[in-house]
């Protein structure tokens, strides 16, 4: 490169690359101080990446539990059921008791629908057992298992002993925790009482054919799985269903599927005055909304943590300026402008933040990648697991390159901004005064 080019491009005196090279050489002059600053930024970014992966994994866990057990991609219930859903009333079927076959036909007519499955959930009182209350969960087991993994840790059907009930049979399966508490085993009868859609007591004594572990405390402890058709008949629901869960071919399009199906149901005559059908996308579940809003709070916490960690680099830059006061004076006396001196110190801070953020992202990426293959057992912290909250007993960290890029960007941006102001301090050092010290 000739001398003329050196005076015009970024390599000219005071150009970007020249000042960047000076700053780079300066950070190599005191390796102990440099490593200290880089370590501070790396720890902050590592914490940010790891905790974001933890929260993303927890959110994914909760959202999957909600979709599998509570909503499907789209849930359909009666508005009167919705008003009293904590009691699981069975007297308010979907679309006024429209036969399940007709509901499925309507759902499958909607563009983007993969399957529509009916479900019934009802309270039951157990007889001759130290466990007094349970939930009857009527599902079409084979159809459900074709779409869902009930055990979210092992990714299987959840059965640990025996099998699920056969269609339209006098059989049931119970959770392993219920079996332990009540002393139940395969082949035992389970006498129980429930209330039908006609408000009459119904006595039933199904045979236990299987014991399951869903890794979801509420189901493992409280739920009795039965065949949908058998429970539908027991509760005198006719051909109707209490709930309808729709599964979309593309989960990202579930909101559009919900809108289309809702318009189809709106064309049907209401079962009674004021009664409507509530059609909801799974993302409208209050727990999902709560978790997604909470993520914003955690982002603020991460930013605060980064800012606090950045103060170490800030203090280092201030210390560098104080220690090199004569050097600053010499820079000024040799013709460097105040803006060029500021850029030198600012580039030093940026290099430190880039090195620290990169190290933190590498360490955080390795940690989250490894733990994404090894589920963390949350029961070690919670005991029996989460019962009143839709979350399985284990979770994996979410390894996501977007989290690494975000952590790196946050680390560089926050620490660079924080060090801009102390870098400006170097501009106010008078060369003559600096050389006298």
Q: Report pLDDT for 5.
A: 47
pLDDT of residue 313: 66
**360 and 425 belong to one structural domain:** yes
Together in a domain, 245 and 303? no
Considering the domain architecture, whether residues 350 and 302 belong to the same structural domain is answered as yes
305 and 331 share a domain? yes
Instruction: Tell whether the model's pLDDT for residue 11 goes beyond 50.
Output: no
Percent above pLDDT 90 for the chain? 45
Q: Is 231 helix (H, G, I), strand (E, B) or coil?
A: helix
Judgement on whether residues 22 and 116 belong to the same structural domain of the protein: no
pLDDT band at 421 (very low <50, low <70, confident <90, very high): confident
pTM over 0.85: no
In-domain check, residue 88:
no
Co-location of 224 and 262 in the same domain: yes
Domain final residue pick, 274, 308, 341: 274
Q: What is the pLDDT of residue 234?
A: 95
Number of independent structural domains in the chain? 2
Same domain, 204 and 155: yes
- Percent helix, percent strand, percent coil in the chain, to nearest 5: 55, 15, 25
What confidence score (pLDDT) does residue 233 get?
95
Q: Which helix (H) or strand (E) holds 305?
A: helix 286-323
Is residue 292 located within the same domain as residue 166?
no
pLDDT at 244 over 90: yes
Residue 430 Ramachandran class (φ > 0 left, ψ -120 to 50 alpha, else beta): beta
Say if 267 falls within a structural domain.
Answer: yes
| 110 lies in the same domain as 165 | yes
Residue 361 lies in a domain: yes
pLDDT digits (tens, 9 = 90+) for 105-114: 999 999 999 9
> Taking residues 336-346, what's their average pLDDT?
79
- Asked whether residue 31 is assigned to any structural domain, the reply reads yes
- Residue in this structure with the two tokens 């529509």, named with its chain if needed: 116
pLDDT band of 436, cuts 50, 70, 90 = low
Tens of pLDDT, residues 200-232: 999 999 999 999 999 888 899 999 999 999 999
Q: Rounded to a whole number, what is the distance in angstroms from the first to the last CA of the chain?
A: 40
- On whether residue 182 sits in a domain, the answer given is yes
pLDDT of residue 14: 56
Q: Does 240 or 291 have the greater pLDDT score?
A: 240
Contacts of 26 by beta carbon, 8 Å cutoff, 6+ apart:
320, 344, 348
Bridge partner list, 75: 245, 280
Are 109 and 209 found together in one domain?
A: yes
User: Does residue 78 form part of some domain?
Assistant: no
User: Does residue 73 sit within a domain?
Assistant: no
pLDDT of residue 249: 93
Tell whether the model's pLDDT for residue 267 goes beyond 80. Answer: yes
Of 240, 274, 308, which residue is a domain's last?
Answer: 274
What pLDDT does residue 194 have? 96
Structure tokens at 404: 């690494």
**207 found inside a domain:** yes
Instruction: Tell me the pairing of strands 243-248 and 277-281.
Output: unpaired
Last residue of a domain, one of 214, 239, 274: 274
Q: Are 244 and 81 within 8 A, CB to CB?
A: no
Question: What digits encode the pLDDT tens for the residues 131-158?
Answer: 889 999 999 999 999 999 999 888 899 9
Q: What is the mean pLDDT of residues 161-183?
A: 94
User: 365 pLDDT band (50/70/90 cuts)?
Assistant: very high
Identify the domain containing residue 401 by its residue range: 3-64+288-436
Statement to judge: residues 266 and 301 lie in one domain: no
Provide the b/e sequence for 407-426 (b: ≥16 CB within 10 Å).
bbebbbebbbebbbebbeeb
Predicted confidence at residue 395, as pLDDT, reads: 81
Q: Give me the numbers of helices (H) and strands (E) for the chain, helices first please.
A: 16, 13
Based on the domain organization, do 55 and 109 belong to the same domain? no
């Amino acid at each position: 490169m000739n001398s003329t080019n050196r005076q015009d491009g970024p390599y000219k005196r005071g150009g970007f690359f020249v000042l960047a090279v000076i700053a780079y050489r300066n950070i190599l002059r005191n390796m102990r101080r440099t490593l200290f600053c880089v370590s501070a930024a790396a720890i902050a970014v590592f914490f940010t990446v790891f905790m974001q992966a933890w929260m993303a994994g927890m959110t994914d866990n909760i959202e999957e539990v909600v979709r599998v057990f509570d909503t499907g991609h789209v849930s359909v219930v009666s508005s009167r059921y919705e008003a009293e859903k904590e009691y699981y009333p069975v007297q308010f079927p979907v679309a006024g008791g429209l036969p399940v076959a007709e509901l499925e036909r309507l759902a499958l007519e909607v563009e983007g629908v993969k399957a529509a499955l009916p479900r019934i959930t009802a309270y039951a009182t157990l007889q001759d057992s130290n466990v007094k209350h349970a939930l009857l969960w009527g599902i079409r087991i084979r159809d459900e298992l074709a779409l869902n993994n009930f055990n979210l840790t092992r990714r299987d059907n959840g059965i640990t002993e025996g099998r699920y009930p056969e269609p339209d049979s006098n059989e049931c399966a119970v959770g392993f925790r219920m079996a332990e508490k009540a002393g139940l085993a395969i082949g035992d009868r389970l006498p129980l009482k429930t209330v039908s859609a006609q408000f009459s007591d119904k006595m039933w004594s199904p045979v236990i054919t299987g014991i399951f572990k869903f890794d979801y405390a509420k189901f493992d402890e409280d739920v009795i799985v039965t065949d949908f058709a058998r429970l539908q008949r027991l509760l005198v629901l006719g051909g109707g269903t209490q709930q309808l869960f729709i599964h979309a071919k593309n989960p990202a399009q579930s909101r559009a599927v919900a809108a289309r199906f809702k318009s189809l149901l709106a064309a049907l005559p209401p079962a009674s005055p004021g009664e409507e059908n509530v059609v909801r996308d799974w993302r409208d579940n209050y727990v999902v909304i709560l978790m997604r809003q909470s993520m914003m709070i955690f982002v603020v916490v991460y930013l605060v943590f980064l800012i606090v960690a950045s103060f170490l680099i800030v203090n280092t830059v201030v210390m560098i300026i104080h220690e090199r006061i004569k050097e600053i004076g010499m820079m000024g006396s040799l013709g460097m402008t105040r803006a060029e001196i500021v850029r030198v110190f600012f580039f030093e801070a940026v290099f430190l933040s880039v090195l620290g953020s990169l190290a933190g992202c590498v360490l955080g990426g390795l940690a989250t990648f490894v733990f994404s293959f090894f589920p963390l057992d949350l029961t070690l912290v919670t005991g029996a697991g989460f019962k009143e909250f839709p979350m399985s007993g284990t979770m994996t960290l979410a390894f996501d390159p977007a989290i690494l890029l975000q952590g790196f960007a946050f680390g560089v941006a926050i620490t660079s901004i924080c060090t801009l102001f102390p870098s400006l301090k170097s501009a106010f050092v008078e060369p003559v005064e600096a050389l006298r010290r």
